[in-house]
Copies of this chain bind each other. A is one copy, B any other.
Amino acid sequence: MKFEGRDIISIRDFSREEIDYILKIAQAMEPLAQKGSDMLKGKILATLFFEPSTRTRLSFEAAMHKLGGSTIGFAEAEIASVRKGENLADTVRTVENYADVIAIRHPLEGAARLAAEFAKVPIINGGSGAEEHPTQALLDLYTILKEKGTIDGLKIALVGDLRYGRTVHSLAYALSNYNVELYLVSPESLKMRREVLEEIRGKIPVTEETDITKVIPQLDVLYVTRIQKERFPDPAEYIKVKGSYKIDLELLGKAKKEMIILHPLPRVDEIAPEVDGTSHARYFQQVWNGIVTRMALLALILGEVK
């Protein structure tokens, strides 16, 4: 296993052994996340966010600061030289001179991969198009491992928009490395993309379902995502769907006591606020886990942890 200088573009580029190692380093980062460190002193992370995402950007920046490094970057394409018509390859070949590692978020699929082809410094995909979000998948795995002590043997449901949500694509690929039973729960029109489904079906048992009440009793992990209004041509259809996928206390009455609920956030109203106070809720802890996971990735690809 070699991480130094490596790009983090797709979760599919990593073997189970490599993922397990990243999760182990993430755990080792917990005390450094609490008290700070000088591990990456003198190093610079550039965050190139061609699409706004406060959460992911701040998480990367906090991870870098907690390791003693610095950050530069932009939070919106509008601010970038893109305005002047520059192409992504040129932007990357410029910014690699300023930074030791680049985290990029881009509305187009394939953008992070293209950036990695041109860059001499490691590129981390902070979300590209509807495709992949590998650091989110890693922090999701880390959260499951931390909360349940294992990933193998669990029954896990991904709920919501499985078609356009990049988070669930990366997570499904990631989970297919483990001995899990996967439930894909979504409205018909937002079912998991065929190419993802075909690949993971060869590796783990997968059940597609539209009715969440049918699967909830057996679950260990319930992973909820937003269902976006703009995906529905008919607003009435949206209202109906939204209501039937809402996680509330009534629905949770059917769940195992130890079932945990995750969500990549931000949520709108797919999880009722009354759920926040239950022992199921782990979505805010997930945010913390995002920092230690990104600290691990930064330390590994910059060669400060072997």
A residues contacting B by CB (< 8 A) are 35-37, 41-44, 46, 52-55, 58-59, 61-62, 65-66, 68, 70-76, 78-81, 83-86, 90-91, 93-95, 97-99, 226, 265-268, 284, 287-288, 290-291
A62 to B36, alpha carbons, bound, how many Å? 20
Query: Of the candidates B37, B53, B98, B291, which one forms a contact with A291 in the assembled complex, judged by CB atoms under 8 Å apart?
Result: B98
| Contact assessment for B287 and A58 in the assembled complex, using a CB-CB cutoff below 8 Å | no
| Contact assessment for B62 and A98 in the assembled complex, using a CB-CB cutoff below 8 Å | yes
A-B contact pairs, 10 of them (CB 8 A): A44-B65, A53-B81, A54-B81, A58-B72, A58-B95, A61-B98, A86-B268, A97-B287, A97-B288, A97-B291
Contacts of A62 in B (CB 8 A): 44, 72, 97-99
A167 to B275, alpha carbons, bound, how many Å? 39
7 nearest A-B residue pairs (beta carbon):
A36-B42, A86-B266, A65-B70, A62-B98, A97-B287, A97-B288, A81-B266
| Contact assessment for B42 and A35 in the assembled complex, using a CB-CB cutoff below 8 Å | yes
A36 to B99, alpha carbons, bound, how many Å? 12
| Contact assessment for A85 and B288 in the assembled complex, using a CB-CB cutoff below 8 Å | no
Given contacts A72-B62, A291-B98, contact A90 B36 (CB under 8 A): no
Contacts of A97 in B (CB 8 A): 62, 284, 287-288, 290-291
| Contact assessment for A90 and B267 in the assembled complex, using a CB-CB cutoff below 8 Å | yes
| Contact assessment for A79 and B81 in the assembled complex, using a CB-CB cutoff below 8 Å | no
Contacts of A46 in B (CB 8 A): 58
